Amino acid sequence: METPYRRQAFAGRVVLLGFGSIGQGVLPLLLRHLELGPGQLEILAADDEGRDQAVQAGVAHRVQDLTEDNYRQVLEPLLGAGDFLLNLSVDVSSVALIELCRERGALYLDACIEPWAGGYVDRQLDTAERSNYALREAALALRQTDERGPTAVLAHGANPGLVSYLLKQALLNVAAETGAPQPAPDSREGWARLAQRLGVRVVHIAERDWQVDRQRKVPDEFVNTWSVYGFVSEALQPAELGWGSHELYFPIDGRRHETGSQAAIYLERPGASTKVRSWTPLAGPHQAFLITHGESISIADYYTIGTGACPEYRPTVLYAYRPCDDTVLSLEELAGRNWEMQPRRRLLRDGLVSGVDELGVLLLGHAYGAYWYGSRLSVDQARALCPYNSPTSLQVTATVVAGVVWAIQNPDCGVIEPDEIPFEPMLDFCRPYLGELVGVFSDWTPLEDRGRLFDEEVDAEDPWQFKNFRVR
């Protein structure tokens, strides 16, 4: 039967680890874009969630909880040379899985670098040890200079992942607007020099979720448009951001890392209680949560010129996330419970009645002030494009499958991050699933309309200082 979708031949076995909201959304895309025969795909999940969907698709579904004690015993019989471990689970160490895949000669991709269960909130660990910075450094330490090994793609969903490709296209768009269009740079330094030359001082991964479910949140319930557990885990990690070379005011609750790239800092408070001012085209100026995400660190590191904590150039990079209104209420209730999780949890997907997810990159400080470039995807569009998806999940799942296809085509790249993968083919693959790709210039700054009601300490001469973005 003819299909309008590009399909990738694959002879190995695919093990899909984790079958929550993202795993369920990925399955139809895997079957759409990979040529898989009977028995080539198997799902391992921590519970029965989504089993009916797997059965209807003719895919084996096994309930199997993975722990530090049993993961090798469970996975070794399933993974051999040329197979693929697609890790969409939580509470299973990404580093341990990558090490296993390397030993077995299997390919690997995840959407987030995960620790073992409890690692995000383990009070016996120092704050720095619970950070995404530390998780990324541990994963990058697996790189071997003498032998790259089977491809292992780190943190390749919407963000981290898609936003790294959006950022490169946005830089080219801004360059074209200046009257000096140029071909895409062919090196890490070339991209960093382009951002420096354009005057980009700050990058927000700026997301505003407008989705509304027919059943509104009720007391003692946490609701979200993607994994409740996944979001709460990262929201309770310390707030993190890439720290720019232009920054003059180090936060009083800020801390530097003693080892690694020095590209990022963390705050001694959770992202769920830290807000920043940001901007998206539909929302305009708004307050968002400064949630730790891997792209805040990897992008800042990738676009660094020089080394150490005070390089020649580095933009400040942060994730400014305004979830849907009922999730904001859930976060406020969670804070009121002293960060003890609500007894009821609900994924917003099948009951969504309206709204869009507006996800993009906001480039600040260049000659045109502000430029947002990203995906604007509605509930109706997401449902028409792929079953078992919401706008939030489809922006993730399309990029996951794009990464799977790329890894199959490039099987010996070792441990690699989205910033190091060619951006044009990835955007080409994802574009049909992203709704509208929109680029908007604005004269917004975080100082806009400030000081009308309250006196605030700001740097009026330099709007792009982090202290001007942070909500006190």
Of residues 412 and 128, more confidence is placed in: 412
Q: Distance of CA 246 to CAs 148, 259, 379, Å? A: 35, 21, 39
CATH number of the domain within which 259 lies? 3.30.360.30
pLDDT number for residue 126: 83
> pLDDT of 212-224, one tens digit each?
999 999 999 999 9
Q: Minimal CA–CA distance to 407: which of 101, 135, 125?
A: 101
Residues 252 and 182 occupy one common structural domain: yes
3-state secondary structure of 296: helix
pLDDT number for residue 120: 62
Residues 86 and 198 occupy one common structural domain: no
pLDDT number for residue 121: 60
pLDDT number for residue 374: 98
In a domain, 28, yes or no: yes
Q: Quote the pTM value.
A: 0.96
pLDDT number for residue 125: 74
In a domain, 140, yes or no: yes
In a domain, 180, yes or no: yes
pLDDT-derived band of residue 147, with 50, 70 and 90 as boundaries?
Answer: confident
In a domain, 422, yes or no: no
In a domain, 413, yes or no: no
Computed over every residue of the chain, the mean pLDDT equals 94
> Which of 103, 136, 153 marks a domain boundary?
153
pLDDT number for residue 180: 76
pLDDT number for residue 1: 31
Q: Determine which of 17-26, 441-450, 462-471 has the lowest per-residue pLDDT on average.
A: 441-450
In a domain, 417, yes or no: no
pLDDT number for residue 2: 40
pLDDT-derived band of residue 437, with 50, 70 and 90 as boundaries?
Answer: very high
3-state secondary structure of 70: coil
What's the half-sphere exposure (Cβ side, CA atoms, 13 Å) at 467?
15
Residues 128 and 197 occupy one common structural domain: no
Give the single-character DSSP code of 157.
B
> Which of 117, 135, 153 marks a domain boundary?
153
Is the pLDDT at 3 greater than 50? The verdict is no
Residues 104 and 191 occupy one common structural domain: no
Q: Minimal CA–CA distance to 303: which of 214, 187, 135?
A: 187
Residues 167 and 141 occupy one common structural domain: no
pLDDT number for residue 5: 76
In a domain, 2, yes or no: no
pLDDT number for residue 4: 62
**The domain containing residue 266 runs over which residues?**
162-392+431-469
Q: Determine which of 114-118, 173-177, 396-400 has the lowest per-residue pLDDT on average.
A: 114-118
- In sequence order, the β-bridge partners of residue 45 are 63
pLDDT number for residue 308: 82
Is the pLDDT at 451 greater than 90? The verdict is no
Residues 49 and 136 occupy one common structural domain: yes
Sign of the alpha-carbon dihedral angle for 96, 102, 103, 105? positive
In a domain, 114, yes or no: yes
> Which of 123, 153, 183 marks a domain boundary?
153
Is the pLDDT at 129 greater than 50? The verdict is yes
Residues 26 and 119 occupy one common structural domain: yes
pLDDT number for residue 341: 95
Percentages helix, strand, coil for the chain (3-state, rounded to 5) are 35, 25, 40
Q: Minimal CA–CA distance to 464: which of 252, 312, 277, 268?
A: 277
CATH number of the domain within which 141 lies? 3.40.50.720
Of residues 2 and 275, more confidence is placed in: 275
Of residues 62 and 1, more confidence is placed in: 62
Return the structure tokens found at 340: 């003890």
Residues 139 and 195 occupy one common structural domain: no
Residues 137 and 265 occupy one common structural domain: no
Residue 398 CA to residue 419 CA, distance in Å, equals: 17
Alpha-carbon 210 to chain mean position: 18
Domains held by the chain: number: 2
Long-range (24+ apart) CB contacts under 8 A made by 55-61 are: 57/27, 57/28, 57/31, 59/27, 59/31, 61/19
State the chain's maximal CA–CA distance in angstroms. Answer: 67
Distance between first and last Cα of the chain: 59
Residues 208 and 68 occupy one common structural domain: no
Residues 311 and 437 occupy one common structural domain: yes
Residues 25 and 172 occupy one common structural domain: no
Is the pLDDT at 140 greater than 80? The verdict is yes
> pLDDT of 92-126, one tens digit each?
999 999 999 999 999 999 999 999 987 666 667 78
What residues contact 338, with CB distance under 8 A and at least 6 apart?
none
> pLDDT of 296-339, one tens digit each?
999 999 999 998 888 999 999 999 999 999 999 999 999 999 99
